Amino acid sequence: MNRLITGILLVFFAALFVHNSWLFSPWGGYDKDLHMAYTKILTFEHRVPVYEETPESYNPPLFYFLSGRLAQAASPWFDNNFLEALKSWQLLMAVLVPLAGWFWYDIFRRINPGRQCWSWLFLVWLLSLPVLNKMVPMYNLETTQLVLSSLVCWFFIRHVLPRPNLNRIIILGLLGGLTLSLRLMSFTLLLSLGLAIILLIRTKAISFKTMIKLNLILTITTLLIGGQYYFFYKDNGAFGEKMEDLSHIAWWKRQPKTFYTDTFFRTSMKTPVRPSFPNRFIPIFYSDFWGDYWNYFPQRRFGLTINDLRKDRLKITSQRLTRLAWQNRINLIPTLIILLGIIKAMTITNKLILKKTKLTDKQLAEIFLTLFFVTTFLAFFYMQHKFANLYKGDTIKASYLLYALPVLIYSAVKWLMSVKKNKWLFYPLITIIIIAIGFNLEFNFF
């Protein structure tokens, strides 16, 4: 019965993702023209483009190579239109994201045995997130990174952590190298893996020497697979240097105080769409996480098409604006729970590391997950300064954190589990979460 219910949930989300991906044009995603230019040049000219051809040239070529090959094979079904055939990659991701959901579901179930209903809540809440559902039908790197990163986390927790050995570390390094070959931001996952392996000496009967050996093998394998692009193209903008318009200013001085402090709370509850909060971190991130601040996901029922928005990104109907406002309102309490969850996870992680006592596999797994999100968020926040856009803040996209967001939902569910004994608090909160999930699912239907 448990497998049947899990299967039904995964099939439901797969159907939603496939439906959205089929109807969503390849031309509707973030920076689609820039990504498409990279794919076309790599596929037909067999070279990595330069910055002048597409600013996305700082990305490694693996995503563009794989999606380009698939589009070539699928072109006959799209009137031999290569760019339209990129929809085949959108559909592939629609099928693979539920698999990523299963990886995280299995992680939660293994760390928390006997908590089946909580595992289902985690799965449904995760796969119903608007920031995830927006990205699945778009032609982008982040969704692919989520799928592969989910596999890496699952393999580490399921196979490496309980029984660390040379063969498993090599496989982990191969998977990690492929992930690094998608986006430079993936280094946060690899850093977290390295830190977790260091802590293995506090859970397993392995020596300090063995730990060093395993970490070196993981690092070398990962860099051999995923570090080649960054080594050979380091002088051609592989680290984004050509995008730094403010390179003459120290990175910590590039953002004004208002970037951190302004919340625009009332506006967030009424008009959470561009250009309401020019270059303000909190309201833009919140509105992009739960809604569509940058206006790239125009549900058809509101009378706007992707082509309409391609001509004018500020175009919006009053009905859709009202819906976006409700997204921000209904998810206020879920956001508070998420924040409480990750704060509690960070507090527990800090205590466990400082105590220097023996760790259980469960404790180390949750330490790894917390380190993964924290390092990813710090890298994301650093990026807001390194590539600061003082005019509109267009690097403030929650989707850049997509591959680490499952940790937020994991921590939120664990926090809910901790307050279950307080029925006056627990039942109203779980009711609000279920209502918010329902709102999100309706919003996600393209």
Spatial separation of the C-alpha atoms in residues 60 and 40, rounded to whole Å: 15
Q: How big is the CA angle at 198 (ends 195 and 201), to the nearest 5 degrees? A: 145
Contact status, residue 211 vs residue 197, Cβ threshold 8 Å: yes
In a domain, 273, yes or no: no
In a domain, 246, yes or no: no
**In this predicted structure, what is the pLDDT of residue 98?**
98
For residue range 261-287, list pLDDT tens digits in order.
999 999 999 999 999 999 999 999 999
Spatial separation of the C-alpha atoms in residues 376 and 370, rounded to whole Å: 10
User: What band does 215 get if pLDDT is binned at 50, 70 and 90?
Assistant: very high
How many domains in the chain?
1
**In this predicted structure, what is the pLDDT of residue 233?**
85
User: What band does 338 get if pLDDT is binned at 50, 70 and 90?
Assistant: very high
Q: Is the pLDDT confidence value at 241 over 90?
A: no
Residue of 411, 387, 268, 403 lying closest to 339 (CA atoms): 411
In a domain, 360, yes or no: yes
In a domain, 402, yes or no: yes
* pLDDT (mean) for 43-48: 95
**Helical H runs in 156-280?**
166-180, 187-198, 208-226, 228-232, 258-261, 265-268
Give pTM, 2 decimals: 0.95
Residue of 409, 420, 413 lying closest to 112 (CA atoms): 413
User: What band does 391 get if pLDDT is binned at 50, 70 and 90?
Assistant: confident
In a domain, 183, yes or no: yes
Burial class (CB in 10 A: 0-12, 13-18, 19+), 405: buried
In a domain, 272, yes or no: no
Domain range for 57 is: 2-235+331-444
**In this predicted structure, what is the pLDDT of residue 251?**
77
For residue range 4-42, list pLDDT tens digits in order.
999 999 999 999 999 999 999 999 999 999 999 999 999
In a domain, 184, yes or no: yes
Tokens of 91: 């559909």
**In this predicted structure, what is the pLDDT of residue 236?**
77
In a domain, 256, yes or no: no
* pLDDT (mean) for 76-102: 96
